[in-house]
Amino acid sequence: MKGRIFVVSGPSGVGKSTICRELVKQLDNIYLSVSTTTREKKAGEREGKDYHFVSRDEFERQIKAGNFFEYAEVFGNLYGTPKDKLQQALEQGKTAILEIDVQGAQNVKKLYPEAKLIFILPPKQAELQKRINGRGRDDGKDAEKRIQGAGAEIAAAWQHYEYMVINDDLEQAVEEITQIIK
């Protein structure tokens, strides 16, 4: 049996990573894809767990080698989904969860039309700003860029995503997404 792909997207600070980690804990036969990126590793992030961190040259070499299922440039950095591990998970009949941005989700949908796209929304714009500023991973300039980009992401999501989930209560958001997957 071939596996399925679910894409989880949303603005920075909305809780995508936390939700995805909870889904992996609560559901069987799940594969959570770890993206490759050219951005700098931030405090507390771990190689191979949060991302695969590579240079721009290495990323571009991997593009030429056809190693990515999809890739996109976001905030001046490249992000991509490694093809080999995703294909292996799908061949094993696993449900693959890709935590990627709107641009990457659109690429996935073109390549794999059966993929289901889930967009995570903040309860309010003010709450999103508080979360981005409160997580301490972005400097002031980077945080402001992410807050401004959130509006464009949310506007684009309404056109492309099958499901919208508000992350006001983590447990409820995880349950909603669990029901979508089931």
Concatenated DSSP letters for 45-68?
Answer: --BTTTBEE--HHHHHHHHHTT-E
Q: Which domains, ranges and CATH numbers included, belong to the chain?
A: 4-181 (3.40.50.300)
76 three-state secondary structure: coil
The answer to whether the beta carbons of residues 111 and 80 sit under 8 Å apart is: no
> Which residue reads 């507390």 in tokens?
44
What is the model's pLDDT at position 97?
Answer: 98
State the average pLDDT for the chain. Answer: 86
> Which candidate, 151, 154, 166, places its Cα nearest to that of 15?
166
20-29 mean pLDDT: 95
Query: Which pTM was predicted?
Result: 0.83
Q: What is the pLDDT of residue 131?
A: 47
